[in-house]
Structure 1
Amino acid sequence: MRLLNSDIFYIGLGCFIISFLICKLMVLVHLSDNPNHRSIHIKTNPTGGGLGIIAALGFSLILINTFIPEVPLSKDLPYFLVCAIIISFLGVLDDIFEIRGIHKSIIIFFVSISAVILTGPVTSLPGFYSSINLPYLAGLIGSVLWIFVCINGINFMDGANGLMASFMFLASSSLTIIAFILGAVTTMIMGLTLCFSLLGLLPFNFGNNSKIFAGDTGSLLTGFIFSLSALLLVKETDNLDLLYVGPLLILPFLSDIFITMLGRVRLGGSFFSAHKSHLYQALIAQSISHTRVSLAYLAAGIFFSSLTIFCVIKEIRISMWILLISIVLAASVRYFIKRDIMLKHISKGL
């Protein structure tokens, strides 16, 4: 792999500068996001921070193709970029026109299928003690659902200042480190681009007085790039034991998403309707600042990222045991925090 540390530094620096400048421009242009019934904000803020991610992705690939063309990137990368452009365009339209959830999900579903057909579906799962072979259709459905859930889920979690950007910066940075260790070049480039473009957004997005939102443009594209990169890691290394790396890195998000969705289905709610049922929304409703909420998720992310990187470095097989124990831990923490909020709410009403 001809990719020197200096190359990595300049690619990352370029992504950061492009993203930072575009976010600064969007703050000045003030393309506003009007709060709706799902929002926890009460005033309009500039949106379009996600445009920096799009520009940084394109810039990094042009830079690599121009100065280090011998880097062995995936031959399917142009097709992945087409999928990314479709997702980005969908995000832009949703930021402007607020597309209905069902229509947005249909488009995301077809993009997810296209991406999985290009990468190839998962063929087996790391079990408790050995691998579990999957029929083609089961692997296809599971792989599509992974991308679909990531895109929608990360979009759901983009509601508090800095929450999505800071957490996904950590997750994509961790994925980049793992890919670098294992020599997965395309995965590393995509992760590197994502984490530095999010870093360019963070100065304007993090904190209680956010100056710009990532918008659906940013959150949808972030979910797509991360989920696709996690699948590419398995393909590039030809190591199915790395299949759970992606889910582990964003487990605090996934546990909140799945428990919230299950609760809504149990109460007769819709997957596609707007709501304020996520844990971060409940915490902010209790007058906990956006910054503290984002830092809490970030702390949980640091734990699971450290665990995952440790397993990779020490060549510990990331089996279903590790995934299951991690899920139970994340879900339990989420349950007890939400339960404490509900008890406080009940006591205030008495």
Structure 2
Amino acid sequence: MNYLIITLLLVLALLTYFKIAKRFNIVDVPNHRSSHTEVTVRGGGIIFPLSIIFCGLLFQDVDLVLLIALTLISAISFADDVRPLPAFLRLAVHLLSVLMAVYALQVHLQWPLWGVALACVFMISGINAFNFMDGINGITATYSVITLLTFWYINSFVIRFADDPLLVCPLIACIIFLFFNFRQRALCFAGDVGSIGIAFWLGALSVMLIIHSHNLKYLFVFSIYGSDVLFTIIKRIKLKQNLAQPHRLHLYQLLVNHAGYPHRVVAICYTLAQLTINGFLLLTNFSMGIYALLLLSICAAVYIHFERRYRTLSTVSQS
């Protein structure tokens, strides 16, 4: 019954937000870096953090400090969707929220100081990676659905690390969001509040899983996004580009903008690729080194293939 209430609340919240966004012009206007051509409501991903807040209210399964941290990082991200904020302010709130999450998850009681530092780096890197990758219709929500379903399977059949509502509520939000976003012409985009909000929560869940399982291989449930970001950064360094400047050199951008593949096809390909990797992780028990070598080699081969194929067009687009 509570899940039904949360579903209805999230649908109502998103429909209400559409009216507010149109009233106050919270929209995404296409520019030369965009992978879309229509003015679209931005910030529809607000239902991702709302799903956790509703979960806390109805199930009372969310740690209060963790909930405050999620609210903080989502609020600053939404404010940035409405009007761009200074980078130092956003990064400061990100760091504060991640530190609060690490405290709430009691990482400092489980791991040494270097482990706490790595947890912070992992969460901040993951948050930014999700934000970088949120550029085409459906990719953030479909990728998040696969990640949450993977976590649910692990929680149900491998090792229990979280209460079910912490996985089911954001999954409901992703499915609702897909109804409005997974279209040829999306009715809304996630915005920073969506991509950063869901990334923060997935990062927190992954830290919970690693603490309970004592197995770092579960970091690879984000390997597709991580590989795309890593290889894109390497390419930009080779091109001597300013990493702080916007670009269109991610693999998904090459596939959409230069190869001409539809947004939804690329989003599904990314999701299925990650699903395949997740299945491999669950069915095997190799060392971290072997996982890293295999997965990075495959991802590198795919990225290099498409990058070489569309190198000329992608380089011209940056000039």
Q: Name the TM-score, length of structure 1 as normaliser.
A: 0.80
The question of 1:269 aligning with 2:238 is answered: no
Q: Which residue of the partner structure matches residue 15 of structure 2?
A: 24
Residue 209 of structure 1 aligns to a residue whose secondary structure is: coil
The question of 1:320 aligning with 2:289 is answered: yes
Q: 1:185 to 1:14 in 2, by over 3 A?
A: farther
Superposed counterparts of 1:122-271, under 5 Å: 136-184=112-160, 186=162, 188-235=164-211, 237=212, 239-241=213-215, 243-245=216-218, 247-271=219-243
Q: 1:57 to 1:345 in 2, by over 3 A?
A: closer
Residue 242 of structure 2 aligns to a residue whose secondary structure is: coil
Q: Which residue of the partner structure matches residue 305 of structure 1?
A: 278
- The question of whether the paired residues in 1 share the 8 Å contact of 2:59 and 2:165 is answered with no
The count of corresponding residues between Structure 1 and Structure 2 is: 310
**Shift of residue 317 of structure 1?**
5.6
- The question of whether the paired residues in 2 share the 8 Å contact of 1:40 and 1:159 is answered with yes
Superposed counterparts of 1:42-57, under 5 Å: 42-57=37-52
Find the aligned partners of 2:163 and 2:237 in 1 and give their Cα distance: 35
Residue 192 of structure 2 aligns to a residue whose secondary structure is: helix
Q: Once superposed, which parts of structure 1, at least 4 consecutive aligned residues long, lie more than 6 Å away? A: 343-346
Q: Which residue of the partner structure matches residue 34 of structure 2?
A: 39
Find the aligned partners of 1:88 and 1:343 in 2 and give their Cα distance: 38
**Shift of residue 343 of structure 1?**
6.2
**Shift of residue 17 of structure 1?**
3.4
**Shift of residue 201 of structure 1?**
0.3
Q: Which residue of the partner structure matches residue 338 of structure 1?
A: 307
Find the aligned partners of 1:336 and 1:170 in 2 and give their Cα distance: 25
**Shift of residue 187 of structure 1?**
5.8
Find the aligned partners of 1:118 and 1:85 in 2 and give their Cα distance: 14
Q: Which amino acid aligns with 2:64?
A: P
Q: Which residue of the partner structure matches residue 127 of structure 1?
A: none
Q: Which residue of the partner structure matches residue 85 of structure 1?
A: 71
**Shift of residue 329 of structure 1?**
1.5
Q: Which amino acid aligns with 1:240?
A: H
- The question of whether the paired residues in 1 share the 8 Å contact of 2:43 and 2:194 is answered with yes
Residue 162 of structure 2 aligns to a residue whose secondary structure is: helix
**Shift of residue 85 of structure 1?**
0.4
Residue 310 of structure 2 aligns to a residue whose secondary structure is: helix
1:105 pairs with 91, 96, 100, which one?
91
Structure 2 unpaired stretches of 5+: none
Find the aligned partners of 1:193 and 1:202 in 2 and give their Cα distance: 14
Q: Name the TM-score, length of structure 2 as normaliser.
A: 0.87
Find the aligned partners of 1:203 and 1:39 in 2 and give their Cα distance: 22
**Shift of residue 204 of structure 1?**
0.3
- The question of whether the paired residues in 1 share the 8 Å contact of 2:137 and 2:186 is answered with yes
**Shift of residue 233 of structure 1?**
1.3
Q: 1:213 to 1:178 in 2, by over 3 A?
A: same
Residue 90 of structure 1 aligns to a residue whose secondary structure is: helix
The question of 1:282 aligning with 2:254 is answered: yes
- The question of whether the paired residues in 1 share the 8 Å contact of 2:161 and 2:208 is answered with no
Q: 1:285 to 1:147 in 2, by over 3 A?
A: same
Deviates most, 249-258 or 331-340: 331-340
Q: 1:274 to 1:118 in 2, by over 3 A?
A: same
Q: Which residue of the partner structure matches residue 269 of structure 2?
A: 296
Deviates most, 114-123 or 289-298: 114-123
Find the aligned partners of 2:304 and 2:280 in 1 and give their Cα distance: 22
**Shift of residue 28 of structure 1?**
4.2
Find the aligned partners of 1:240 and 1:64 in 2 and give their Cα distance: 27
Report % sequence identity. 21
Q: 1:226 to 1:338 in 2, by over 3 A?
A: same
Find the aligned partners of 2:88 and 2:233 in 1 and give their Cα distance: 15
Q: 1:47 to 1:23 in 2, by over 3 A?
A: same
